[in-house]
Amino acid sequence: MNKKLIIPVATFALVGIGMFTSQQVFAEDSTNTKSPMNALVAKIASKFNLNVSDVQTVFDEDKKERETEREADYEKRLTQLVTDGKITEAQKQLIIAKHKEMREKRQAEMQSMQGKTEEERKVLMEAKKTKMETEKTEFESWAKQNGIDEKYLMGMHDGFGQRGPGGMGMTPKEK
């Protein structure tokens, strides 16, 4: 990937995660009756005369399964990068640790928004947008300090290798 494209793509990805996170928080707040997912769960339960909590359990299990699959795919891609000599095993472990750290941070941020009003969420998301630029710089510095080419990390900005151009920032040829 052309280095001139890295910064705009990374910036776009960071803005995207902010928007995605706000949608996720809104959707996952079980106290939020306006949540699209909660509305869908309620509609399915009503349509098929099912218990709402049973339907919610199916949704939650499916979400967990997809998350587990994404994690396995992510580690598989990293293993392939090690096999291809693009990163070292030590770098792979650093990436996995950073991935976990960022995922936990994102989950904590999402949980902190639960129970907030729409206006409170908007204020928090505005603050997050400002904070994202600092996080982006810190992330780039971390990658540089660890000798990891950012093109293998681009997806970590917005879902840890699952979205973005080519996944993990790889071009289709590298994938």
| C-alpha of 39 from chain center | 23
Domain that holds residue 28: 3-34+68-158
Q: What is the pTM of this model?
A: 0.62
Tell me how many domains the chain contains. Answer: 1
Q: Is 148 within the bounds of a domain?
A: yes
The tokens for 10 are 């990374």
Neighbours of 88 (CB within 10 A): 14
The tokens for 103 are 């995922």
Tens digits of pLDDT across the chain (175 residues): 444 444 544 444 444 444 444 444 444 444 455 567 888 999 999 999 999 999 999 999 999 999 999 999 999 999 999 999 999 999 999 999 998 998 898 888 888 888 888 898 888 888 888 888 888 889 889 999 999 988 887 566 443 333 333 344 433 334 4
- Residues contacting 99, CB < 8 A, separation 6+: 74, 156, 160, 161
Q: Is 98 within the bounds of a domain?
A: yes
Q: Is 57 within the bounds of a domain?
A: no
Q: Is 130 within the bounds of a domain?
A: yes
Q: Is 139 within the bounds of a domain?
A: yes
For residue 157, which of 30, 14, 23, 49 has the smallest C-alpha distance? 14
Position 8 scores a pLDDT of 47
Helix ranges restricted to H, 48-171: 52-83, 89-113, 118-145
The half-sphere exposure of 29 on its side-chain side, counting CA atoms within 13 A, is 22
Neighbours of 165 (CB within 10 A): 18
Q: Is 173 within the bounds of a domain?
A: no
Q: Is 55 within the bounds of a domain?
A: no
Q: Is 171 within the bounds of a domain?
A: no
